[in-house]
Amino acid sequence: MARKYRVVQKYGGTSVGSPDRIRAVARRVKEAHDKGWDVAVVVSAMAGETNRLLALAQEISPDPDRREVDVLLATGEQVSTALVSLALHAIGVPAVSLQGHQLKVMTDSTHGHARIKFIDDSRAQRAFDHGQVVVIAGFQGIDENHNITTLGRGGSDTTAVAIAAALKADVCEIYTDVDGVYTTDPRICPDALKLDRVSHEEMLESASVGAKVLQIRSVECAMRHAVAVHVRSSFNQNEGTWVVPEETTMEDVIVTNIACEKEQAKITLSGVPDVPGLAAQIFGPLAKEGIVVDMIVQNVSHDEGAGGRRTDLTFTVSVADRARAVAIVERICSRIGAEKVTSSADVGKVSVVGLGMRSHAGVAADMFEALAEAGINIQMISTSEIKISVIIDKVDVERAVRLLHAKFVTGAAADAAAGKAG
């Protein structure tokens, strides 16, 4: 007998944020189950619940133990799985809820930011054999010592994609409060366009520079296992955006996304001795503390001082990591003989992303020219094969997004339409 069509559906916190919305989720799941499909449902905690639990932990202890915080936070998804399962039972759909330890989502032991190592799909397979919908807690797993772990913010996306890979699902549907992936944030740019299809690589780059639709590790997982992801709205039946392996025609579009990130902090070590090995002494301790460094610029050495040639080293981290990062580099500063450490949170990042940048020269020059004409100063630059990112003043971020979107997206679309008409 041919294997049934198999789908993983993931619902975020807003989608399960109230009893009415949970009932709506159950009705949508029933539609898939009634088609004879195998259905696995991954749910987040109800909207606001994770923040409420974190606030409770902070009220009990200003520096709560990470293991116990994971135990606490995992209860949010446990509530959602039970409620969704109850809603399915109420409309005649057989369902079983499974927590991370019951499905055996095995992770490493990094509490608060664990990574999935493998998933034992046997429990889900047995449920499918009995015609049941499997309702799975996102965001959580278990390590080899049977400790509950969590995957970090947005971890339910990663859970869903990893389960889709383990179950060899035909599609992983990510239901959210937007109806797809847009060329930029519609709240900043009202003429943003919804994309029908986007490559894993473009989505990965967009997620890494501020696009919030999908969590970056979920895209990495989808790319690694060739999982087709369909980003859709949980509030309508519209077709969303398919995130799929790269297709040849995708390079016809030069830029697909203008992304931004306002929660950036810039840290500068001034007067760093210009000798081999110091970069490792600076960034090694940051990595050990789980602080992700984004962009790095080392200035040309200035005049020699008493200790020889010196240089300035500037890098960016998230605003949430700023205080910890500054404390770490201040300790390092005195040890390596650097002059001082300064930091600022008055910056933001704007990026252009697109597969077509591989084969079209001049995107960087056009980007820099557009920003210059608008009087927007570029402080740092970072590039990859399909992405260009700049650090600018935070007050200029939204204006930069709008003008770059007009230049590379709506302007390019208008030129293409005019070309076809001609």
Distance CA 9, CA 14 (A): 15
Closest CA to 258 of 112, 411, 379, 421: 411
Instruction: Return the pLDDT at 394.
Output: 96
Distant-in-sequence, close-in-space partners of 109: CB < 8 Å, separation ≥ 6: 143, 144, 145, 147, 149
* C-alpha radius of gyration, the chain, whole number: 24
DSSP state of 194: B
Whether 310 has a pLDDT exceeding 80, the answer reads yes
Whether 3 has a pLDDT exceeding 80, the answer reads no
Section 67-71 average pLDDT: 96
Confidence class for position 421, pLDDT limits 50, 70, 90:
very low
pLDDT in tens, 249-258: 666 788 999 9
Instruction: Return the pLDDT at 78.
Output: 97
The order of strands in the sheet holding 133-137 is 95-98, 133-137, 38-43, 6-11, 171-176, 229-233, 241-244, 197-199
Whether 136 has a pLDDT exceeding 60, the answer reads yes
Instruction: Look at the pTM and tell me if it is higher than 0.85.
Output: no
State how far the alpha carbon of 399 is from the alpha carbons of 187, 189, 348, 370, 382, in Å: 12, 9, 12, 11, 20
Confidence class for position 404, pLDDT limits 50, 70, 90:
very high
361 or 200, which is more confident? 200
Closest CA to 22 of 80, 91, 98, 95: 80
Q: 317 — phi, psi (to 5°)?
A: -140, 175
Instruction: Return the pLDDT at 305.
Output: 52
For the ranges 333-337, 352-356, 375-379, which has the lowest average pLDDT? Answer: 333-337
Confidence class for position 128, pLDDT limits 50, 70, 90:
very high
Whether 156 has a pLDDT exceeding 70, the answer reads yes
Whether 308 has a pLDDT exceeding 70, the answer reads no
Section 118-125 average pLDDT: 95
Confidence class for position 411, pLDDT limits 50, 70, 90:
confident
Do residues 234 and 176 make contact, with C-beta atoms less than 8 angstroms apart?
yes
Whether 55 has a pLDDT exceeding 80, the answer reads yes
Whether 418 has a pLDDT exceeding 50, the answer reads no
Distance CA 192, CA 186 (A): 5
Q: What is the mean pLDDT of the chain?
A: 90
Highest mean pLDDT among 137-141, 153-157, 179-183: 137-141
Section 190-212 average pLDDT: 86
